[in-house]
């Protein structure tokens, strides 16, 4: 499972590395944790330093490595108590048999065991040892004590070990451990968003991407929309605590984590799914999709063969999805988008009134730096007169940042409503 990194808050991870051949995996684990945006500080036991050097972890983490309990230089900076307070999570990987025993019995004779006792933050351990040591009654008794004390155990994998034995005791791959850590903070942040987020408890439906209107079995009419804006908005709404359904035209984008996705091709399919969403519940409808205005009157059953210099295709108007939804008796809060190439604000203001929208965001897609396929955008947002809100200018920024500003604008308007 992938995570939308914008949903994962900045957190501090103390990664403790103990003695064992699996210590080499911890170097990779630092990189994977930083990929998720975590700040990582490394604590190493004396045993760990026999397998890998502190300099390696300092280079990878970008922070000094902590190795000694009674180090005057360390105590003058980030001492063991401050390190324990700094951590949002203490992750021990690999966790040796000796370390588990110290933790379970409250020993505090080195830096790591002292940090363990001094921290109020969650503690995770990823045991790694010989399969017989893992199976030993004393080890299992210590693990049971730790679990009862609230320590989270990442279970070891089975397989061939460095000593030649085969069985349980291998430390899981760094990517898997980092994914579990990210998932933990993601779920914690999600719980907060569902209770206190700007769109907490709201049901949001978003249309995104282009539509394709078939000419024959191999040709179609479409546009240059990539769906990036709609997908970014789906992620932002989810991060704000909403339940999000994303109705996506044909685009090559990964579904944002936590978002329910429904794939469609044509404008009529998109309208059908949009109407169905009203029946299942929709508080906010956001129409970012670049829906084709016209479709072919009669789609050819077989591929049209090339013949002559001209091909005449009759087009008929497609339904206006956002206007249709806005015209329903039990209409949700309606947010439209206007992608124009000239007179942008004038056209957008007109659409706001004509389509009975609550809010419309417009941008100039003739600009190469913010048009279709760009990772950035800039918008002007208009609100219906009843909200007594001035238009908002959203300066050029990433589509993720623009999406967060749009969520704030929607939240403000909903409060006024």
Which H, E and C letters describe the chain, residue by residue? CCCCHHHCCCCEEEEEECCCCCHHHHHHHHHHHHHCCCEEEEEECHHHHCCCCHHHHHHHHCCCCECCCCCHHHHHCCCHHHHHHHCCEEEEEEECHHHHHHHHHCCCCCHHHHHHHHCCCCEEEEECCCHHHHHCHHHHHHHHHHHHCCCEECCCEEEECCCCCEEEEECCCHHHHHHHHHHHHHHHHHHHHHHHCCCCCCEEEEEECECCEECCCCCEECCCCCCHHHHHHHHHHHHCCCEEEEEECCCCCCCCCCCEEEECCCHHHHHHHHHHHHHHCCCEEEECCECCCEEECCCCCCCCCCCCCCCCCCEEECCCHHHHHHCCCCCCEEEEEEEECCCHHHHHHHHHHHCCCCEEEEEECCCCCCCCCCCEEEEEEEECHHHCCCCEEEEEEEHHHHHHHHHHHHHHHHHHC
Residues 6+ apart with CB under 8 A from 363: 337, 338, 339, 340, 344, 370, 377, 378, 379, 380
| Domain of residue 59, CATH code | 3.40.50.1950
Average pLDDT over residues 111-131: 96
Residues 164 and 229 in one domain: no
130 and 212, same structural domain? no
- Within this chain, do residues 175 and 223 fall inside the same structural domain, yes or no? no
pLDDT tens digits along 257-273: 889 999 999 999 999 99
204 and 241 belong to one structural domain: yes
Say how many domains are in the chain.
2
CA distance 275 to 408: 26
Confidence at residue 341, expressed as pLDDT on a 0 to 100 scale: 78
Q: Are residues 182 and 213 in the same domain?
A: no
Whether residues 326 and 372 share a domain: the answer is: yes
Q: Which range among 56-65, 184-193, 399-408 shows the weakest confidence by mean pLDDT? A: 184-193
User: Is 83 among the domain residues?
Assistant: yes
Answer with the one of 130, 158, 186 that is the final residue of a domain: 186
Binding residues for CTP are 293, 303, 319-322, 337, 351, 355
Q: Is the pLDDT of residue 122 over 80?
A: yes
CA diameter of the chain: 89
Last residue of a domain, one of 129, 163, 186: 186
Least Cα distance to 98 among 45, 51, 31 occurs for 45
Predicted local confidence at residue 72, as pLDDT? 66
Task: Give yes or no: residues 172 and 239 share one domain.
Answer: no
Calpha distance 33→15 (Å, rounded) = 10
- For helices 97-105 and 137-148, give the axis angle rounded to 10 degrees: 50
pLDDT average, residue stretch 272-301: 95
For residue 31, being part of any structural domain is answered with yes
Residue 388 CA to residue 408 CA, distance in Å, equals 16
Give 373 or 346, the one with higher predicted confidence: 346
Distance between terminal CA atoms of the chain?
37
Is position 1 within any domain?
Answer: no
Return the closest-CA partner of residue 330 out of 275, 390, 406, 387.
275
* Residue 363, pLDDT above cutoff 60: yes
CB 79 within 8 A of CB 118: no
Write down the residue that tokens 């008796």 correspond to: 329
* Structure confidence by residue, pLDDT tens digits, 292-337: 999 999 999 999 998 888 888 899 999 999 999 999 998 999 999 9
pLDDT at 48 > cutoff 80: yes
Distance CA 111, CA 102 (A): 12
- 202 is a domain residue: yes
pLDDT-derived band at 31, boundaries 50, 70, 90: very high
Do residue 101 and residue 202 come from a single domain? no
Measuring CA to CA, which residue among 106, 3, 93 is closest to residue 43? 93
Q: Does residue 10 surpass a pLDDT of 80? A: yes
**Residue 125 pLDDT greater than 90, yes or no:** yes
Q: How confident is the model at residue 74, as a pLDDT?
A: 56
Q: Are residues 178 and 220 in the same domain?
A: no
Contact between 206 and 273 (Cβ < 8 Å): no
pLDDT for 196: 87
State what percent of residues in the chain have pLDDT above 70.
Answer: 95
Whether residues 266 and 155 share a domain: the answer is no
- Please check whether residue 214 lies inside any domain of the structure: yes
**The residue to which tokens 């005057």 are assigned:** 72
Same domain, 134 and 263: no
User: Does residue 173 have a pLDDT over 80?
Assistant: yes
Higher local confidence (pLDDT), 4 or 47: 47
**What pLDDT is attached to residue 390?**
81
Domain-embedded: residue 297: yes
Catalytic residue, candidates 97, 163, 237, 362: 163
Domain final residue, candidates 186, 217, 251: 186
Q: Is residue 192 part of a domain?
A: no
Range of the domain at 373: 198-416
CATH of the domain at 345: 3.40.50.10300
pLDDT category, 159, cuts 50, 70, 90?
A: confident
Q: What is the mean pLDDT of residues 362-384?
A: 82
Q: Is 163 a catalytic residue?
A: yes
Looking at the predicted structure, is the pLDDT value of residue 392 above 60? yes
Query: Are 148 and 269 part of one and the same domain?
Result: no
Mean pLDDT of 349-377: 85
Confidence of residue 111 (pLDDT cuts 50, 70, 90): very high
Q: What is the per-residue pLDDT across 174-207, written as a single tens digit (0 to 9) for each? A: 999 999 999 999 888 888 888 889 999 999 999 9
- pLDDT at 366 (0 to 100): 77
The pLDDT value recorded for residue 4 is 59
Residue 333 lies in a domain: yes
Lowest mean pLDDT among 60-64, 141-145, 195-199, 228-232: 195-199
């Amino acid at each position: 499972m992938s995570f939308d990194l914008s949903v994962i808050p900045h957190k501090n991870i103390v990664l403790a590395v103990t003695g064992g051949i699996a210590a080499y995996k911890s170097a990779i684990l630092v990189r994977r944790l930083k990929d998720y945006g975590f700040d990582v500080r490394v604590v190493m036991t004396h045993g760990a330093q026999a397998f890998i050097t502190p300099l390696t972890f300092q280079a990878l983490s970008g922070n000094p490595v902590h190795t000694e309990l009674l180090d005057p230089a360390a105590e003058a900076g980030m001492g063991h108590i401050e390190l324990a307070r700094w951590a949002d999570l203490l992750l021990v990987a690999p966790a040796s048999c000796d370390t588990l025993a110290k933790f379970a019995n409250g020993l505090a004779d080195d830096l790591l065991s002292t940090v363990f006792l001094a921290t109020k933050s969650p503690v995770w351990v990823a045991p790694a040892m010989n399969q017989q040591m893992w199976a030993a009654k004393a080890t299992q008794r210590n693990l049971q004590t730790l679990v009862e004390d609230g320590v989270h155990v990442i279970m070891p994998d089975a397989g061939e070990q460095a000593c030649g034995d085969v069985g349980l005791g291998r430390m899981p791959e760094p990517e898997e451990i980092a994914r579990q850590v990210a998932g933990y903070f993601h779920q914690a942040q999600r719980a907060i968003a569902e209770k206190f987020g700007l769109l907490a408890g709201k049901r949001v439906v978003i249309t995104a991407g282009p539509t394709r209107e078939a000419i024959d079995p191999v040709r179609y009419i479409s546009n240059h929309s990539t769906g990036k804006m709609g997908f970014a908005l789906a992620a932002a709404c989810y991060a704000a605590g909403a339940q999000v359904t994303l109705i996506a035209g044909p685009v090559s984008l990964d579904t944002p984590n936590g978002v329910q996705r429904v794939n469609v091709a044509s404008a009529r399919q998109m309208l059908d799914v949009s109407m169905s969403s009203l029946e299942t519940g929709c508080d906010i409808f956001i129409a970012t999709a670049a829906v084709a205005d016209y479709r072919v009157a009669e789609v050819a059953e077989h591929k049209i063969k090339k013949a002559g210099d001209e091909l005449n295709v009759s087009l008929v108007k497609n339904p206006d999805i956002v206007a249709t939804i806005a015209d329903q008796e039990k209409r949700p809060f309606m947010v439209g988008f206007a992608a124009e190439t000239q007179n942008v604000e004038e056209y957008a203001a007109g659409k706001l009134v004509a389509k009975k929208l609550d809010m419309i965001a417009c941008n100039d897609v003739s600009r190469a730096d913010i048009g279709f396929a760009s990772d950035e955008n800039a918008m002007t947002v208009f609100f219906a007169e009843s909200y007594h809100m001035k238009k908002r200018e959203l300066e050029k920024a990433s589509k993720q940042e623009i999406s967060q500003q749009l969520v704030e604008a929607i939240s403000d308007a909903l409060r006024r409503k």
